[in-house]
Structure 1
Amino acid sequence: MLRNVLPLLVLAISSQFCLAAAPTLKQIEVDGTPTSIVLPEDTSTPDGMTVAKDGKIYLNMLNLQVAAVAAVWTIDADDQLEKLIDLPKHPDTDDVYPLGIAQGSDGNFYVADNQTFGENMDHQSRLLRVVMKGKKAVRVETVATGFIAANAVEAYGDSIYVTETCLVNDAQPHLSGVYKFDLDELSADKPAELKPDGADERLVAKFTTEADDWRSGVGANGMAITPKGVLYVCNFGEASVLTAPLKEDGFLAEPLKTLVKGKGIGSTDGMKYVHSLRKLIVADFFSNAIHLVGLKGGRVKTIAQNPNSDGAGGKLDKPSEPCVRGTTVYASNIDLPYDGNEPDKPDTLTVIQLKITDK
């Protein structure tokens, strides 16, 4: 009898925990002083991250400041790094620049290769698939082509979403957007090929970016989709987050609207939805900060910010991507030479512990 009752009791307790109200921004605090994970000497320029089904963080390394080819790495529960696989260079440009990464419902990882880092704006960017067999990556294949500047990657249902930071070359104002691919159309034998200039039927959303400085040329960036199917996308140059619900077919149910713009945010780079907090977390490259954003009203709480640094001692160094595992925030310090910044050693991830108070 007890054997039959215990599972029901555990289920009831779990259900009560899941139904607990989300903490307010005021209740979320930084626990202690941020620390740094110093990356291996033969790596640099960390960017996209995702927490996979196995509990590991999968991290893209562009390696712009070292000789090594770009690669995907993993971070285990003890924050130990291990290289998963090198990424193949583009056959025409002879380089690869991985930004966003997400794990699809098929268990494989999807990576945005943004060829504009090689000053190539000629629709050479790609979507790559890291094919997994058990815990090992067995190969990397190209499954979609024709992007100008593929950036963030998000998985939702049996689809993969990719932000396109530049939808049309030289458009004024700057134009960018979001594409959706169904997993069953992504094939290495016949990669999906996007029609240029926003004419492809896979285009989910498009929007403009206006700013008074270099940020005017950087549009769609980070992206998140909640379990209930609400899309959030960063408009980097306007320091905003746009949102709209998705229909059953994965396209917008209504036009994008602005959740937040500014409010202490200088740019919206990488972004994640943190289900345990019911909040968005945003990396702010321009202001060298990490912010939490509430889903109702777009309230902002800055959890880390410092003047430009070398990334040592837990300091931020031009962060581009946040990732949350449990109560721990990881921030990729991409340290790119923009906005007067100069790349420097060490190459790091900033690690921030969070706690929930009773305030």
Structure 2
Amino acid sequence: MTRPGYALVLAVAAALLSEVSLAADAPAHSTQPQASRLLVDLGPQINTPDGLGIAPDGTLILSAPNFNNDHLLKQGLITRPAPPFMAAIDHQNKVSHWYDFKASDLHPDTGHVGPMDNAFGPDGNLYVADMQVFFSKDHKSRILRINVKDGKATGVDVVAEGLIAANGLVWEGDTLYVTDSLLIDPATQAKGAPLVSGVYALPLNEMQKDQPIKLKPYSPEAAEDSHLVKALTSSGKMGFGADGIVFDDKGHLFVSTIEDATIYDLTLNAQHKAVDTKVFAQHSGMTSVDGMIFDPVRQMFYVADFLGNAVHAIDRTGHVTTLQKNGDTTGANGELDQPAEVIQRGNELVIVNMDMAWATPGLSVNTQVDTFNNLSVIDLPPASTY
């Protein structure tokens, strides 16, 4: 039997292929009824899911920073905090602990670890953005390497330091590209100054256990760190800039600024520097752009709209089609609940519902953090139709 949401996505995709329009002018289309369905109930152990990577055997690795702990404790919704950890989701959608952070893995100054985006490197190890910004804005964020042997996590090395808000990750060859959602603490800037964020390129051979890359603080008045690919500016309305990051099949780097719902297309030189930066997609139908991926078969970008409770598809012209958008819900029935990340698993678009409304008051469709923690999924048209 064909699922109603699946048939509707097929129709949307067909329309997407037949229409070419300017991203800034054309209205976003919306699928109704609901296209997403519930994939996994994560339970109380994961109250703030975020990064979603995929292992060589197809297992999904989910970061659980559990940033909602303090809020849920204050609201009386939980009685004890849920420790951050890395979860595994197998082909039957069973959730298990893949790696539990040890005391030695916590930042020595903050006493915390905040695993966000994660991605397996060419060396077979998992690299994780450790976002420390909710504990300190004094350049405490790091890149962690979870060493893997025979598919099992064995321990953590710190391989890069000095970011403020390490967020998105993507590998291109032997280089890890990282978004830092804050290059400058807004509290140190003049009122009304644009928010500054950026992208770094970290070569694999420089990320050593005993000598991690030490990124120097960014200043527009000083020479930039040699690893900086590009600094970006945005409105400052949310307090987070560069976020989603992905390469297409032509070697172009695409980076989103979450708060301005803008995706940039960056052309890089051999030294990993942006030599040309242009707006690829910016649309009134997108409230924000968080995590994003590129599908080389369908030639589509899929993006999570964190503030808008939506997931969008974007074609090569920058035309935006909304696959799912809903109001303020718990996500218990598969609706979107502040989606932060998307990833493809076959013909499934798996969506992480972060549900972190306390961090976005007055900005997001989602207004309350609840105790329903889940992943949603949208069925994509079979690749054979392309």
For this structure pair, what is the TM-score category when the shorter chain's length is used for normalisation? Answer: 0.7 to 0.9
Q: Which residue identity lines up with residue 91 of structure 1 in the other structure?
A: P
- What CA distance in whole angstroms lies between the structure 2 residues aligned with 1:162 and 1:150? 7
Shift of 1:64: 2.8
- What CA distance in whole angstroms lies between the structure 2 residues aligned with 1:33 and 1:164? 30
Residue 296 of structure 2 corresponds to residue 275 of structure 1: yes
- What CA distance in whole angstroms lies between the structure 2 residues aligned with 1:169 and 1:63? 23
Q: 1:129 aligns with which of 136, 145, 151?
A: 145
Q: Which residue identity lines up with residue 270 of structure 1 in the other structure?
A: G
Shift of 1:69: 2.0
2:94 equivalent in structure 1: 80
Residue 231 of structure 2 corresponds to residue 231 of structure 1: no
Shift of 1:177: 0.5
- What CA distance in whole angstroms lies between the structure 2 residues aligned with 1:84 and 1:158? 25
* Contiguous gaps of at least 5 residues in structure 1: 1-22
SS of equivalent residue, structure 1 residue 310: coil
2:25 equivalent in structure 1: none
Residue 354 of structure 2 corresponds to residue 334 of structure 1: yes
Overall identity of the aligned pairs, in %: 34
Q: 2:115 aligns with which of 92, 98, 118?
A: 98
Greater mean deviation of Cα atoms: 139-148 or 59-68:
59-68
2:63 equivalent in structure 1: 60
* Contiguous gaps of at least 5 residues in structure 2: 1-12, 19-30, 70-80
Shift of 1:184: 0.6
Residues 101-180 of structure 1 correspond to what in structure 2 (within 5 A)? 101-118=118-135, 120-170=136-186, 171=189, 172-180=193-201
Q: Which residue identity lines up with residue 194 of structure 1 in the other structure?
A: L
Residue 326 of structure 2 corresponds to residue 306 of structure 1: yes
SS of equivalent residue, structure 1 residue 79: coil
TM-score, reference length from structure 2? 0.81
Contact 1:240 1:267 in 2 (8 A): yes
Shift of 1:180: 0.5
Shift of 1:33: 5.2
Shift of 1:35: 2.0
Residues 219-298 of structure 1 correspond to what in structure 2 (within 5 A)? 219-252=241-274, 254-295=275-316, 297-298=317-318
Shift of 1:84: 0.8
SS of equivalent residue, structure 1 residue 313: coil
CA deviations 1:138-190 (Å, max 9, x no partner) are 00111110001110011110011100100112242111100001001001201
2:40 equivalent in structure 1: 37
Q: Which residue identity lines up with residue 157 of structure 2 in the other structure?
A: E
Residue 377 of structure 2 corresponds to residue 348 of structure 1: no
1:48 equivalent in structure 2: 51
Contact 1:50 1:323 in 2 (8 A): yes
Shift of 1:76: 1.4
Shift of 1:42: 1.8
- What CA distance in whole angstroms lies between the structure 1 residues aligned with 2:44 and 2:198? 36
Structure with the bigger RCO (C-alpha within 8 Å, sep 6+) is 2
SS of equivalent residue, structure 2 residue 323: strand
- What CA distance in whole angstroms lies between the structure 2 residues aligned with 1:303 and 1:141? 39
C-alpha change, 1:158 and 1:25, in structure 2 (3 Å) is farther
- What CA distance in whole angstroms lies between the structure 2 residues aligned with 1:277 and 1:101? 24
Contact 1:27 1:358 in 2 (8 A): no
How many positions carry a matched residue from both structures?
Answer: 331
CA deviations 1:306-353 (Å, max 9, x no partner) are 001111001111111111111101111111122342210111111111
Shift of 1:25: 5.7
Shift of 1:277: 1.6
C-alpha change, 1:63 and 1:25, in structure 2 (3 Å) is farther
- What CA distance in whole angstroms lies between the structure 2 residues aligned with 1:41 and 1:188? 34
C-alpha change, 1:25 and 1:238, in structure 2 (3 Å) is farther
Q: Which residue identity lines up with residue 77 of structure 1 in the other structure?
A: H
Residue 177 of structure 2 corresponds to residue 187 of structure 1: no
Contact 1:36 1:311 in 2 (8 A): no
Shift of 1:24: 5.6
C-alpha change, 1:163 and 1:173, in structure 2 (3 Å) is same
Shift of 1:63: 1.8
C-alpha change, 1:247 and 1:73, in structure 2 (3 Å) is same
Contact 1:220 1:235 in 2 (8 A): yes
SS of equivalent residue, structure 1 residue 91: coil
2:3 equivalent in structure 1: none
SS of equivalent residue, structure 2 residue 259: helix
1:7 equivalent in structure 2: none
